[in-house]
Structure 1
Amino acid sequence: MVVYHIPTINWLREIADLLIRAHDSALIVIDMQERLVPAMQAPARTIRNTRLLLKAAARTGVPALLTEQYPQGLGQTVPEIRKAAGDNAILPKMHFSCMEDQGFAGAFRSLGRRQAILTGMEAHICVVQTAASLVEEGFDVFVVSDATASRTIESEQACLARLSAGGVSVVTTEMVIFEWLGRAGSDAFREMLPMIK
């Protein structure tokens, strides 16, 4: 005998809460800096996907914040990301968790968004600690797995497993972009589609 699960209203609400909404989102790009990027696993993939996310964010009205960990030692944000960031703020920090830095935390809270979309490096240090701080404060957190990197694949995988077990949604670049777009046929969809293919 086959038993079918009939969704309850609460279950449907939980599924709806999983969707990434452009009007609820802020994109956070963590520490994609000159002296960090070359040491990462798949740096070209991480840069390419973060650039796509920055372009999609600009096209769909999603604000972005970028950070630099100790820029005097680790250098500035790599040129490809800095150019894609446009006028979005790039904030220096010393804490591993962005939310422990008063400048960043104030800038993020002032956006009034409840969903934080995280990319950057290193996954198992600054990304995971920022995600944990945001979850503690009650934000919905999404970490973009193919726009996030560590120096070793083991650290990257452990980070994503830990985040997922802790209630953070692990997503991909295309998931974020298509959820921001919401539908086909719009000007934003037509503009983004050639970049994604």
Structure 2
Amino acid sequence: MLMDAAASSLLIVDVQQNLGPVMADPRAVYRGCSLLLRGATRLDIPVTVSEQYPKGLGPTMGELLELTPANSVVEKIHFSCAAEPAIKDRLDGFNRKQVVVAGIEAHVCVLQTAIGFHQAGYQVFVVADACSSRLAANHQAAMARMAAGGLSIVTVEMVLFEWLHRAATPEFKDLSRLIK
């Protein structure tokens, strides 16, 4: 199944100031999430950014927060965004049955979020190269478990080019410049 911009929303999970720097590959997460946010904004795809206990873990990383649309950040206390009523209601309100998920930690909040939305009837696409964990082995195990459970494991470029659907558009020109 392909990702469709008209059917998708983007969910960035917990890429926060006190958590991001201790990931196995934080720069890849920041770059990937940045590209996804830029793509979603350019293509009018709804965005949600979760923050797990921001008093302790800090706010979303500044470079990502600058790209986040107003009123898109939602605090949570559950590990799974699907178990957090404000986030679940927000995504349900978009009336889009595909959710593209990226963030940290892959084996905790991303995994529980992806499985939760999958169980709620969403088509879930987890962006492997925009996710991380403190240990690379945890990231790998999370991706394998989600794939075995029927979730689609994708890359940033897969997401962007499937959302674009075709070349020779102003959106294609804008987003392809970002990838190069």
TM-score bracket for the superposition, by shorter chain length: over 0.9
Structure 2: stretches of 5+ with no match in the other structure: none
2:40 and 2:47 in contact (8 A); partners too: yes
The aligned residue for residue 190 of structure 1 is 173
* Alpha-carbon distance in structure 2 between the residues aligned to 1:160 and 1:187: 33
* Alpha-carbon distance in structure 1 between the residues aligned to 2:167 and 2:119: 35
Instruction: Answer yes or no: is 1:150 the counterpart of 2:96.
Output: no
TM-fit CA distance, 1:137: 0.9
Shift >2 Å, 4+ stretches:
none
Matched ranges for 1:1-197 at <5 A: 18-197=1-180
Q: Which has the larger radius of gyration?
A: 1
2:47 and 2:69 in contact (8 A); partners too: no
The aligned residue for residue 14 of structure 1 is none
The TM-score, its normalising length taken from structure 1, stands at 0.90
- CA-to-partner distance for each residue in 1:47-96, whole Å, 9 max, x for gaps? 01110110001111211100000011100001000001132510000000
Secondary structure of 1:99's counterpart equals helix
2:127 and 2:156 in contact (8 A); partners too: yes
Pairs aligned (count): 180
Amino acid at match of 1:132: I
Amino acid at match of 1:77: T
Q: What is the root-mean-square deviation in Å for CA atoms of aligned residues?
A: 0.7
* Alpha-carbon distance in structure 1 between the residues aligned to 2:90 and 2:176: 31
* Alpha-carbon distance in structure 2 between the residues aligned to 1:106 and 1:156: 28
* Alpha-carbon distance in structure 2 between the residues aligned to 1:102 and 1:160: 25
* Alpha-carbon distance in structure 2 between the residues aligned to 1:194 and 1:99: 34
Structure 1: stretches of 5+ with no match in the other structure: 1-17
TM-fit CA distance, 1:99: 1.1
The TM-score, its normalising length taken from structure 2, stands at 0.98
Amino acid at match of 1:151: R
The aligned residue for residue 4 of structure 1 is none
* Alpha-carbon distance in structure 2 between the residues aligned to 1:130 and 1:88: 20
TM-fit CA distance, 1:108: 1.0
* Alpha-carbon distance in structure 2 between the residues aligned to 1:123 and 1:45: 13
| Identical columns (%) | 41
